[in-house]
Amino acid sequence: MEDLAASRRPPSRLPGLGSYRGRYLYLAIVVILGFSCAGVVGYLHVSDVSEQNLRNIRQRAQATASLHDTLALLQQIQNQVGRFLINPPQESAKDILITQQRLQGAMRQLQSAAWIRNSGEMALLADTADASLEQLAVLVDKLIQLRAERSLWLPATQTIETGILPATLTAQVILSELIGELDLAPINRTNIVQRGIINAMQLRWMQAIAEVRLLITNRFGVFTSDSESGMATRAGNIQIYLEQFRADLARLKQLDAEGQLGFIASARLNNLQAASDDWETAVQQALSQLTGANWRPDMNLVGDGIEPLIDTLQQRLSSLRLELDIESARNITELTEVSRELTQFAALLIGAGALFAAIAYLMFDRTLLRPIQQTTLALKQEASGKHAIHPPTSTAQEIHDLVAAFDEMRKQVRQRQEHLDHLAHHDALTDLPNRLLFRDRLEHALAFARRDGLMNAILFLDLDGFKKINDTLGHAAGDQLLRTASDRLRMAVRSSDTIARLGGDEFAILIERLEHRNDVTRLGEKILAALEQPFEVEGRQLHISTSIGIAISPLDGEDTDSLTRAADTAMYAAKQAGKGCFRYFTADMSRQANEYMELETALRDAIHDQAFRLHFQPIIDARTGKLHGCEALLRWQHPDSGPMSPAVFVPVLEDMGKVGVVSQWIIGQLGELQRRFGDGEHRLTLSVNLTARLLYDEGFSRFLLEQLRQDSDAARHLIIEITEDSLSEDLDGAARVLRQLKILGVRIALDDFGTGQSSLNHLRHFPFDLVKIDREFVRDMPHDPNDVSLVQAVIELSHAFDMKVVAEGVETEDQDGMLKELGCDYLQGYRISRPMTAEALEDFLAEYTQGSEQPKQLA
């Protein structure tokens, strides 16, 4: 005891060189001072360079942010001007002016950025861009003023209102008066002939008026993409109807001159002749105005002034961005030089350290290692429980202190070992038994049950909706909820039962020595009620439920693996039943689980053997009937069950995480398939279905982009179809990948349009080229006017966004005709062809294109 007390006495404050502590203390002071001086010198140098580069980075970041804002606002005003041309309400003009003010503010901020201001070349670029921006403001104001008055941006308006409309009304009134006169005259054969002539004149007049309306409509490209051809057709029709009208008018004048009319009509006929002449003159004048180069001065102002000026601004700002990138490269070069200097400095320090280590080793071997060897015997004696002897050295007291410290350490290690053993068998968050301890207790319970003929039950619990709470409120809130749920479970069960947290939001409960099955039912109801109560988490009330699967031994299994597998299967059945409930394990559940596993196995074999096949369904041009492309459809034949619908096996592939593998196989086949059905620019365009989740996957999107970059023809003849529902996860991420595909020439189609939850939002945010109308809307069109109206609205809306429309599921002649009348661009369905193999498609293409020009691309 005296030795131990002496070993715990504090050493002197200033140990001398005669002790190990003193020697190593003074040596350490010398080494620390040397390395500290070297470190201070290096730190000052690095600090100076880092501060300078940090200042440069801040200034450049400010300039880059301002430049990014300027480019974004410039793109925004370009889009607003485009929309303003289509529909120029007062609010749109205000939006343009507001964006213009923000753009000017962003340009001022860009000019005031220190990095720009301190560089002569970049300052000149910024000033030049600012001058162009002032010109843009003038042109935009001029456009708004021009669009404020319809007669300014559409000169033909004045002619229509003051020339065509009055003459039209006059002629209609005279024709009505002539019919009224005939109604008063006695009915005879002559009267009937005269009435027929006037009715024919009235019909021709209405047809001519209708053609004028169609002529104006064609000027805006509403019913035809070739407005010039449409207007020429309308003008010819107007002339034909007018000549027929005048021929009938001449017959009436002849009858009037011969006195065969039953009333006096000379003045009315002359007025009718004058009205028709005035009408024709006004129509010719309007036609001249509509076909002239300045029929829409607002579009000329945008095309010749605003758009080129915006392009110039973008080029100058891009040049400015290039200069900023060059400056960034210079800073990187400077940092590289500093890094090289730091590397050399570190090498010197390492050399000095190695020299110090060699000297220290010689000293430690003489003054410390040899005494430690002598101390080893004392440590072994201490480990065996014997009293440790003091080594015969001049440092016996220090070695004795070392042995005492070792004994204290051994006690602490034993305590920590017990703590680690607890952690190894318990969950750190809830302090419940973990999976390992639960399995151990379950094995013991099953062993006693087999010996004594008792029943045990296990419950598997999964918290419904926990992942959403964890992702939304964060892991801290999720942990708090799990702790509260654990406390409620402890209160719901008996003290002899075992509650374990298996991981995440999964729990398990072991009920030993079960007497009645009703006891488990009551416990399940008690747990459901306990967890349905609101949870108070970070000041919020949260609601969750739980799905419980129950298995009972020996009915559902006599060993640990079979019983836990049965409980897990029952829990999955509870989730399938709508969550917030419990289910006992049944044989049907096992059969369904086995069938699912067999299907998984068959699909894995199919992936390994590449047993999937592609079938193709043609898509034709609704107007010309020519073949424009095919949709590639995935097909698989189950080894035992035969052909299986994609609706059955694709969800299983998604659960397996193998949809990306199969989609990569499809993408890999595209180039070869396209060349098989055509070469060069005459390749057959193919459409393939991808989920937006695949586009979010960085590995798959990289593979897809690399494949298409290697074969540019394949990209230009590829259409990727994406369903609306799959876009709801990450709009920005999907839009980024789709824009990269668009750059490569790939076209994007929005599949099953109208079945999602935010169709219009998708049309605004994504660069779609085509919209595919779901077959559900096409099927009942001949019998349901609501579906007709909906399809018509989709077509007009898509065309307004400059997108083509494909109708799926076209099966009847009535559907075909109605879709063509509504202006649908492309048709797909059984009326054209059922999906077919590649070999059948070759025969189909040979027969379809025989004697006609090469099929065009689907665009």
CATH number at residue 501: 3.30.70.270
Is-contact 854 833, C-beta < 8 A?
Answer: no
Range list of H helices, 426-516: 435-452, 466-473, 475-492
Say how far apart CA 233 and CA 191 lie, in whole Å. Answer: 36
CATH number, domain containing residue 804: 3.20.20.450
Domain membership of residue 403 (yes or no) is no
pLDDT at position 855 is: 39
Helix residue ranges, H only, 505-586 = 517-532, 560-576
Q: Please tell me the distance from the alpha carbon of residue 373 to that of residue 379, in angstroms, as a whole number.
A: 10
Which tens digit of pLDDT belongs to each residue from 339-385? Answer: 677 777 777 777 777 777 667 666 666 666 566 665 666 556 555 55
Strand order in the sheet with 498-503: 498-503, 506-514, 455-464, 545-553, 582-584
Q: Is residue 641 part of a domain?
A: yes
- Residue 145 sits in the same domain as residue 160: no
In this structure, are 230 and 268 located in the same domain?
Answer: yes
Predicted local confidence at residue 730, as pLDDT: 53
Q: Is residue 288 part of a domain?
A: yes
DSSP class of residue 544 equals -
pLDDT reported for residue 117: 64
Kindly write down the DSSP assignment for every residue of 357-421, as one continuous string: HHHHHHHHIIIIIHHHHHHHHHHHHHHTTSPPPPPSSTTHHHHHHHHHHHHHHHHHHHHHHHHHH
- Whether 163 and 273 map to the same domain: the answer is yes
Co-location of 555 and 631 in the same domain = no
CATH classification of the domain holding 274: 1.20.1440.210
> How high is the pLDDT of residue 119?
65
Same domain, yes or no, for 566 and 642?
A: no
In a domain, 25, yes or no: no
DSSP state of 725: G
pTM above 0.75, yes or no: no
Does residue 203 belong to any structural domain of this protein? yes
Low-confidence stretches of the chain (pLDDT < 50) are: 1-12, 222, 396, 758, 851-859
Q: Are residues 658 and 677 in the same domain?
A: yes
Q: Is residue 63 part of a domain?
A: yes
**Closest by alpha carbon to 436, among 449, 428, 446, 425?**
425
Q: Which helix (H) or strand (E) is 629 found in, with range?
A: strand 627-638
Residues 286 and 303 grouped into a single domain: no
Range of the domain at 748: 612-848
The answer as to whether 396 is a domain residue is no
- Rg of the chain, C-alpha, whole Å: 43
Domain with residue 322: its CATH number is 1.20.120.1730
Closest C-alpha among 269, 243, 275 to residue 166: 275
Same domain, 319 and 272: no
**CB burial of residue 365 (10 Å; 0-12, 13-18, 19+):** exposed
Do 244 and 275 sit in the same domain of this protein?
yes
pLDDT at 7: 43
Does any domain span residue 786?
A: yes
**Co-location of 304 and 259 in the same domain:** no
Q: How many domains does the chain have?
A: 4
Rounded to an integer, what distance in angstroms lies between the CA atom of residue 832 and that of residue 619? 8
Q: Of 293, 328, 353, which residue constitutes the final position of a domain? A: 293
702 with 808, same domain: the answer is yes
Q: Kindly state whether residues 628 and 753 are assigned to the same domain.
A: yes
Is 226 in a helix, a strand, or coil?
coil
Given 339, 369, 402, which residue is the final one in a domain?
Answer: 339
